[in-house]
């Protein structure tokens, strides 16, 4: 069926490489992280994703997937490297540029080059294509270039890679057709062909829509706190309307999509995007909002047991996590912190992680910042016996508490906090 070279073995590139290998392609995965490369060649993975470990083990053992620090000659090249923001929130395209340049010695006539990385509008036309053209290739005639953004949910990546609709944006029509044929080898969802710039903007708007919706929910939480209203009940009732779907408030927005992608639009049209800009500002303010309420509960000092560091539940990804921002703010204020996240490894973070028992020992508050399954049902006996004060502030409306003697706060009853939890328990 041919050979595919995937550049970037992160949360998207590695599952993509494994899926193509499962479909019968010979696949080489490329990364600058020698630890990731060595692990993959042993049939192991360096990230957490449901079912991925078993799949990688099988395709490596079958000889269909291997890893390398540099690309190889192939029929199709897929770029799946990160596109972070600079401090001013403009897009850092150095990884995309470097990945494209790394392919140049290996290109041959008829190759398909696909960028899956999320990128600002016109990146394919104005950045990627000129790099290939400078090497003497006629892009769209000799090298077929396209953008096919990923659109998967962590925890369900292997399912959604197959079942989700894929948007394939070619630099010209034949490039879109060629790239669509590649994905047609395993994608059962619709494969929609369009222009590269339309595909770029479509991906950004998918995540911007969600970011703006979450900002609306977070702003509602702030308004409800001020007015003494149960924000969660308001959302539940409003969503009974057949054409309303308000998202849930939380400690902020994280991950390498929602917290990053809207800025790619703002960068290209700042005057025309005030709504998107304000949504980013609102969501970025939520860690501080959380910390303000921690102060209302605990006062100016105390031990806080942080539950969850990842940006969403049941994954190990801490990129752009609002939980990490909240931790930094609490550290700056001098609180004693104990950090518990069963999905995060010690080498991912720069501070000591605790077990559940260590985290709650003599703690004044459990602050839930991530909706891991492990947090749904907590050991209430241990909470009573080990904590100094049995209080939980659940920013994800996730924990189920049965004991009335455990004081439980979420965005439905923030306004009931009072000055200090000691007066309330």
pLDDT of residue 403: 87
* CA 372 to each of CA 28, 127, 316, 376: distance values in angstroms, whole numbers, following the listed order: 33, 39, 10, 7
Q: Quick one: pLDDT band at residue 421, thresholds 50, 70, 90?
A: very low
**Paired strand residues for 7:** 30, 79
Q: What is the CATH number of domain 3-196?
A: 3.40.50.720
> With 60 as the cut, is the pLDDT of residue 422 above it?
no
Q: Quick one: pLDDT band at residue 404, thresholds 50, 70, 90?
A: confident
> With 80 as the cut, is the pLDDT of residue 344 above it?
yes
Instruction: Name the catalytic one among 76, 148, 178, 203.
Output: 203
- Around 304, how many Cα atoms within 13 Å sit in the side-chain half-sphere? 31
pLDDT of residue 151: 85
Alpha-carbon dihedral sign for residues 91, 256, 130, 104:
positive
Domain 286-423 has CATH 3.40.50.720: yes
Q: What is the mean pLDDT of residues 354-383?
A: 96
Distance (Å, whole) CA 362 – CA 382: 11
Q: Quick one: pLDDT band at residue 351, thresholds 50, 70, 90?
A: confident
Q: What is the pTM of this model?
A: 0.88
pLDDT of residue 347: 87
pLDDT of residue 1: 59
pLDDT of residue 394: 97
pLDDT digits (tens, 9 = 90+) for 331-340: 999 999 999 9
Instruction: Name the catalytic one among 5, 76, 148, 257.
Output: 257
Please check whether the two domains, 3-196 and 286-423, share a CATH topology: yes
CA 93 to chain centre: 18
Catalytic residue status for 76: no
User: Which has the minimum average pLDDT: 184-193, 400-409, 410-419?
Assistant: 410-419
> With 90 as the cut, is the pLDDT of residue 211 above it?
yes
pLDDT of residue 209: 96
**End-to-end alpha-carbon separation of the chain, Å?**
66
Q: What is the mean pLDDT of residues 179-208?
A: 96
Classify residue 375 by its DSSP letter: G
Domain boundaries, given as residue ranges, for the chain: 3-196, 286-423
Catalytic residue status for 257: yes
Distance (Å, whole) CA 178 – CA 76: 10
Q: What is the mean pLDDT of residues 120-143?
A: 97
């Amino acid at each position: 069926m041919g050979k595919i070279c995937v550049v970037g073995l992160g949360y998207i590139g590695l599952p993509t490489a494994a899926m193509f290998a499962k479909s019968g392609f010979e696949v080489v995965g490329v990364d600058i992280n020698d630890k990731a490369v060595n692990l993959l060649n042993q049939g192991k993975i360096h990230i957490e994703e449901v079912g991925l470990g078993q799949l990688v083990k099988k395709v490596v053992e079958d000889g269909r997937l291997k890893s390398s620090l540099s690309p190889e000659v192939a029929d199709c090249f897929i770029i799946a490297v990160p596109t972070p923001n600079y401090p001013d929130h403009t897009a850092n395209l150095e990884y995309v540029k470097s990945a494209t340049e790394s392919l140049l010695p290996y290109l041959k006539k008829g190759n398909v080059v696909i960028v899956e990385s999320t990128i600002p509008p016109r990146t394919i036309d104005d950045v990627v294509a000129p790099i290939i053209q400078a090497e003497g290739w006629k892009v769209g005639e000799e090298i077929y270039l396209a953008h096919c953004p990923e659109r998967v949910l962590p925890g369900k990546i292997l399912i959604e890679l197959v079942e989700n609709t894929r948007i394939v944006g070619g630099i010209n029509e034949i490039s879109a057709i060629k790239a669509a044929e590649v994905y047609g080898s395993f994608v059962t969802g619709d494969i929609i062909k369009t222009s590269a710039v339309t595909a770029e903007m479509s991906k950004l708007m998918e995540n911007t829509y969600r970011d703006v919706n979450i900002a609306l929910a977070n702003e509602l939480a702030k308004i409800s706190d001020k007015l003494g209203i149960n924000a969660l009940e308001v959302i539940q009732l409003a969503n009974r309307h057949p054409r309303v779907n308000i998202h849930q408030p939380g400690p902020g927005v994280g991950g390498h999509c929602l917290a990053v992608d809207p800025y790619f639009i703002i960068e290209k049209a700042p005057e025309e995007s005030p709504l998107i800009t304000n949504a980013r500002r609102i969501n970025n303010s939520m860690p501080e909002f959380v910390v303000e309420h921690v102060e209302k509960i605990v006062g100016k000092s105390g031990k806080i047991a942080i539950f969850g560091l990842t940006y969403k539940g049941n994954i190990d990804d801490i990129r752009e996590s609002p939980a990490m921002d909240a931790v930094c703010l609490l550290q700056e204020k001098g609180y004693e912190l104990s950090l518990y996240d069963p999905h995060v490894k010690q080498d991912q973070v720069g501070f000591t992680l605790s077990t559940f028992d260590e985290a709650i020992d003599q703690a004044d508050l459990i602050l839930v910042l991530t909706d891991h399954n492990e947090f749904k049902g907590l050991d209430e006996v241990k909470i009573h016996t080990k904590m100094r004060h049995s209080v939980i502030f659940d920013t994800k409306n996730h924990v189920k508490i049965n004991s009335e003697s455990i004081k439980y706060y979420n965005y439905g009853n923030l306004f009931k906090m009072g000055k200090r939890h000691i007066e309330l328990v």
